[in-house]
Amino acid sequence: MKKMPMYQQPYHRNDLSSSHFLVTGGAGFIGSNIVEYLLKFSAGKVRVLDNFSTGSVNNIHQFLDNPAFELIEGDIRDLSTCQRAVEGIDYVSHQAALGSVPRSIDDPITSNEVNVSGFLNMLVAAQKSGVKKMVYAASSSTYGDSPDLPKVESKIGNPLSPYAITKYVNELYASVFSRQYGFHTIGLRYFNVFGPRQNPQGPYAAVIPLFITAALKHDTTYINGDGETSRDFTFVENAVQANVKALLSTNIEEHQVVNIAFGERTTLNQLWESITGLLETNIKPKYRDFRAGDVKHSLASISKAKDLIGYEPRVSVKEGLKTSVEWYKRSNATAKVPEL
């Protein structure tokens, strides 16, 4: 089994050794990838705040021995925890949230508490403690029912889920904090981010980890609709690049939101073909009805991110899938501790 290398080159020019970073949700999928990058390039301190509700210690165990790594097990719904987490911190990457549209439909109250109240706590704590920059995870779901393609930041539709509302509210708060307090943050509207450490388990798993793990086990796989639904799938390394560049940017004088995507459309049928091709099988998926509330197509314009923070996605969907497939194969291939 090949280990596909990630984060081979830096996306920054600065010396990070005297910078202190906080990654909320750092035990989650995107957060732990950001942590990996920062530690790899010798950041002075990388602190993680996570309540392990959807994050996992498996995502960070490899960092636990690193002297630059710090872990606070706590909840962003508690303001004093947020205040403790930002102490002595220069840069905040806020990734903590309850992801998943279906989860927010099942339990809108908890999604709102974490994604809205938790976000506001972090915003208040970061602004008051005088951090240099805060970047937060926004979402492509904010485009809602807008049919326009590609999506440009200035034109959104009506939200289609509680999750979309919570993420849009983040943008509204961030914008007001910029005007009222001069605290300028950057929201990254992620488009279908995938890659190593994305959880394939449970009812709220995303499509790529579901497809890969199902194809690995020859489980029956369902595609909702005819498979011609398309998305702008974004390999996690590209999202990490966006976080790093946004955090270290020096030209931001007001709140900004930017699309973070690869900038190409892939249909579910193409996705399935690529995955089964990589696994050298020809298992066929089963088709069933469209899921209510799903938009048919999604594609981002990434011009604003390019212009504003110099975002330049380097890893294609195909390459990202290859790395992911190898990772899912490896992740359950070897337990850490030998059985006797």
Partner 1 sequence: MKILVTGAAGFIGFHLCLSLLSRGDQVIGLDNINDYYDPSLKLARLKELGITNIVDGEKVASASYPGFSFIKTSIDQKEQLFSLFRESSFDAVVNLAAQAGVRYSLVNPDAYILANIVGFLNVLEACRHFPVKHLVYASTSSVYGSNTAMPFSESQATNHPISLYAATKKSNELMAHSYSHLYNIPTTGLRFFTVYGPWGRPDMALFLFTKAIIQGEPIKVFNDGRMQRDFTYIEDIVQGVVRVLDNPAMPSTEWRGDHPDAATSYAPYRVYNIGNNQPAELIEFIEAIETELGKKAIKEYLPMQAGDVPATHADITNLATDTGYSPQFSVQHGVKNFISWYKDYFKVG
Matching residue, tokens 């195909």: 318
Residue 200 or 310 with smaller CB distance to partner 1: 200
E-assigned strand segments in 215-315: 222-224, 230-231, 234-235, 256-260, 266-267, 286-288
Does 234 participate in binding partner 1 (rule CB under 8 A)? no
- Residues in binding contact with partner 1, number by CB under 8 A: 19
> Of 213, 234, 259, 323, which one interacts with partner 1 (CB under 8 A)?
213
Nearest to 115, CA basis, from 87, 77, 151, 147? 77
**DSSP element (H, E) containing 328:** helix 317-331
Q: What is the CA radius of gyration of the chain?
A: 19
Terminal CA-to-CA distance of the chain, rounded, Å?
24
Residue 179 or 218 with smaller CB distance to partner 1: 218
Assign 176 to helix, strand or coil: helix
Assign 324 to helix, strand or coil: helix
Structural contact between residues 185 and 248, judged by C-beta atoms closer than 8 angstroms: no
Q: How many angstroms separate the CA atoms of 307 and 317, rounded?
A: 22
Residue 287's DSSP bridge partners are 223
The alpha carbon of residue 7 and the mean position of all alpha carbons in its chain are separated, in whole angstroms, by 16
Stretch that binds partner 1, among 42-50, 67-75, 112-120, 330-338 (CB under 8 A): 330-338
We find the least distance from the C-beta atom of residue 227 to partner 1, in angstroms, to be 18
Does 77 participate in binding partner 1 (rule CB under 8 A)? no
Nearest to 322, CA basis, from 212, 233, 228, 229? 212
| Buried/exposed code over 168-198 (b: 16+ C-beta within 10 A; e: otherwise) | bbbbebbbebbeeeebbbbbbbbbbbbbbbb
Does 203 participate in binding partner 1 (rule CB under 8 A)? no
Stretch that binds partner 1, among 125-133, 270-278, 291-299, 331-339 (CB under 8 A): 331-339
Q: Which listed residue (37, 163, 173, 328) is catalytic?
A: 163
Does 205 participate in binding partner 1 (rule CB under 8 A)? no
Residue 147 or 338 with smaller CB distance to partner 1: 338
Structural contact between residues 98 and 76, judged by C-beta atoms closer than 8 angstroms: no
We find the least distance from the C-beta atom of residue 268 to partner 1, in angstroms, to be 19
Residue 155 or 217 with smaller CB distance to partner 1: 217
Does 330 participate in binding partner 1 (rule CB under 8 A)? yes
> Of 68, 71, 205, 216, which one interacts with partner 1 (CB under 8 A)?
216
Stretch that binds partner 1, among 60-68, 153-161, 253-261, 324-332 (CB under 8 A): 324-332
> Of 106, 219, 307, 319, which one interacts with partner 1 (CB under 8 A)?
219
Scan residues 276-315 and list those touching partner 1 (CB under 8 A).
283
We find the least distance from the C-beta atom of residue 217 to partner 1, in angstroms, to be 5
Does 2 participate in binding partner 1 (rule CB under 8 A)? no
- The encoded tokens of residue 253 equal 């004088």
Does 18 participate in binding partner 1 (rule CB under 8 A)? no
Stretch that binds partner 1, among 48-56, 111-119, 226-234, 325-333 (CB under 8 A): 325-333
We find the least distance from the C-beta atom of residue 60 to partner 1, in angstroms, to be 16
Residue 20's DSSP bridge partners are 45
> Of 179, 218, 296, 314, which one interacts with partner 1 (CB under 8 A)?
218
Q: Is 163 marked active-site?
A: yes
Could you list the active site residues?
Answer: 163
Binding site for partner 1 (CB under 8 A): 1, 213, 216-220, 283, 329-330, 332-340
